[in-house]
Amino acid sequence: TLGPFFVSKFEMTQGQWLRATGRNPSHYAAGESAAGKERTLVHPVEQADFAECMETTRRLGMTLPTEAQWEYAARAGTRTPWSTGVHPDDLVRYANIADQFCRLNGGLTTSTYESWNDGWAVHAPVGSFFPNAFGLYDAHGNVFEWCRDGAGSYAEADHAPGDGFRTAEGTTRVIRGGGFSFRAIHARNSFRGTAPGESRTTNIGLRPVRVVSPR
């Protein structure tokens, strides 16, 4: 059972991170282009590690979501593998994931790709696709999003009341939501990706939350 919380409508953008920290760590940074698409500060920030994301959101009066908060927000009241339903093809208007455009514009030849074409080889500007039923954009695809929990087994860690936070040994963290170079299966509501907390990759960003505290 979760307590009330606010969740960002969008993944945090490069422009927001730049205003908060004075720099833009993103590999696919604003002002450059890929496959004929110019990137802007409205693209999601990436290549920020877990500790940086925690500190930056803390200074803004926010934090990273727990897995429980993230999945509740991404599901948007549904019980299906994706908030769009049971078929991966239903994601075509909702998620920027590995598809034919990615394959034809720099995608790895060893990877597999979905059959459709969403027009983006790397991450897209936030809000480029349809939102879920809660009005949240890019809960599936674009970039994975850091969660606050450690990447331990559900059976081995108790969850905290209110936000469902689970402690776990080590520095490996959970990432959720899938990314532009990953297939639909990795964008399922329940899929748990993991990454060392010090990871800085083009496929991991963040979506801040703010807990609603009683006065």
Residue 103 token pair = 């394959």
pLDDT tens-digit series, residues 188-212: 999 999 999 999 999 999 999 998 8
- Name residues whose C-beta falls within 8 Å of residue 188's C-beta, 6 or more positions apart in sequence: 81, 82, 178
pLDDT tens-digit series, residues 119-156: 999 999 999 999 999 999 999 999 999 999 999 888 87
Query: Is the per-residue pLDDT at 89 higher than 70?
Result: yes
Judge contact between 157 and 73, C-beta under 8 A: no
What's the pLDDT band for 159 if we cut at 50, 70, 90? confident
Q: How far apart are CA 60 and CA 123, in angstroms?
A: 24
pTM of the model: 0.94
Query: Is the per-residue pLDDT at 110 higher than 80?
Result: no
What's the pLDDT band for 170 if we cut at 50, 70, 90? confident
Q: How far apart are CA 79 and CA 190, in angstroms?
A: 10
Q: How far apart are CA 118 and CA 187, in angstroms?
A: 15
Report the pLDDT value the prediction gives residue 26, as an integer from 0 to 100. Answer: 97
Q: How far apart are CA 93 and CA 49, in angstroms?
A: 29
